[in-house]
Amino acid sequence: MSTPATREGVKRVLVTGAAKGIGAAIARLCVKAGHQIVAVDIDRPGLSRLREELPGIETAILDVRDLAAWERVIEAAEAQGGPIDVLINNAGVCLPGPCDQVSADDDRLTVEVNLIGVMNGVRTVLPRFLARDRGHVINVASMAAFSPIPDLAAYSATKHAVRAYTHSCALDHRHAEINWTLVCPSAVETPMLEGMRKRRAGVVVFTEKPMPSEKIAGAIVDTIRTPRREVLVPSGRGKLIRFIGLFPGLLSRGMDDAERRGLEALDD
Q: Which helix (H) or strand (E) holds 225?
A: helix 213-225
Residue 6 predicted with pLDDT over 70? no
Element (H, E) at 106: helix 104-111
pLDDT tens column, 177-206: 999 999 999 888 777 777 766 666 656 676
pLDDT digits (tens, 9 = 90+) for 113-137: 999 999 999 999 999 999 999 999 9
- Give the count of alpha carbons within 13 A of 69, CB side only: 12
Cβ neighbors of 165 (< 8 A, separation 6 or more) are 115, 118, 119, 122, 139
Q: Which band of pLDDT confidence, cut at 50, 70 and 90, is reported for residue 247?
A: confident
Strand partners, 14: 38, 87
For 32, residues 6+ apart whose C-beta sits below 8 A from its C-beta are 2, 4
Query: For residue 265, what pLDDT is reported?
Result: 65
Separation of alpha carbons 50 and 39, rounded Å? 9
- Please indicate, yes or no, whether the overall pTM of this predicted structure exceeds 0.75: yes
Predicted confidence at residue 203, as pLDDT, reads: 66
Residue of 169 and 209 predicted with greater confidence: 169
* Dist. CA 235–CA 248, nearest whole Å: 21
What would the pLDDT profile of 79-119 be if each residue is shown by its tens digit? Answer: 999 999 999 999 999 998 999 999 999 999 999 999 999 99
Residues whose CB falls within 8 Å of the CB of residue 176, separated by 6 or more in sequence, listed in order: 129, 130, 133
Active-site amino acid positions? 155
Residue 81 near residue 31 (C-beta atoms within 8 A): no
Burial class (CB in 10 A: 0-12, 13-18, 19+), 45: exposed
Domains defined for the chain, CATH in brackets: 7-267 (3.40.50.720)
